[in-house]
């Protein structure tokens, strides 16, 4: 398995506060992804990156921003968290764009 970690693993925050989730991989993978997983929706892509400073939007990008200043780190930021962003967030990385390796997930609750 690729060495992918996410931090924090659990977070409870209040509506309107900024939140940053971190994904770190040690495999020198070019591609990195942020997904959210909700009942009835499966995994939905938020943003992804195809290299340092190269990012693009996924299907549910509103309210989220990302940054990738180093190959190994991919940050997901909620500028002003809302209750609809309560979810489990997964990061993934891939050498090529097909076989993705997932991190352990972050459970975010926005009150």
Choose one: 14-22, 60-68, 71-79, 100-108; the region binding other proteins (CB under 8 A).
100-108
Number of residues that bind other proteins (CB under 8 A): 23
CA quadruple 73, 87, 85, 34: dihedral sign: positive
DSSP 62-108: TTEEEEEEETTEEEEEESS--GGG-EEEEEEEESSSSS-EE---EEE
Using CB under 8 A as the binding rule, whether residue 99 contacts other proteins is answered as yes
- Which of the stretches 12-20, 41-49, 62-70, 78-86 binds other proteins when contact is defined by CB under 8 A? 41-49
Q: Which of the ranges 17-25, 32-40, 64-72, 76-84 carries the binding residues for other proteins, by CB under 8 A?
A: 32-40
48 binds other proteins (CB under 8 A): yes
Please state, as a whole number, how many other Cβ atoms lie within 10 Å of the Cβ of residue 40: 4
CA-to-CA distance for 71 and 82, rounded, in angstroms? 29
Q: State the number of CA atoms in the 13 A half-sphere of 111 facing the CB.
A: 4
Of positions 21, 23, 103, 110, contacts other proteins by CB under 8 A:
103
Instruction: Enumerate binding residues for other proteins (CB under 8 A).
Output: 1, 31, 33, 35, 40-45, 48, 50, 58, 90, 97-105
């Amino acid at each position: 398995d690729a060495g992918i970690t996410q931090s924090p693993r659990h977070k409870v925050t209040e509506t309107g506060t900024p939140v940053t989730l971190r994904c770190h991989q040690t495999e020198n993978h070019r591609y990195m992804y942020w997904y959210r997983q909700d009942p009835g929706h499966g995994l939905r892509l938020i943003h992804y990156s195809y290299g340092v400073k190269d990012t693009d939007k996924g299907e549910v990008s509103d309210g989220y921003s990302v940054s990738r200043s180093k190959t190994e780190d991919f940050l997901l930021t909620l500028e002003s968290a809302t209750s609809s962003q309560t979810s489990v967030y997964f990061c993934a990385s891939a050498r090529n764009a097909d076989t993705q390796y997932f991190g352990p997930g972050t459970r975010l609750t926005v009150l």
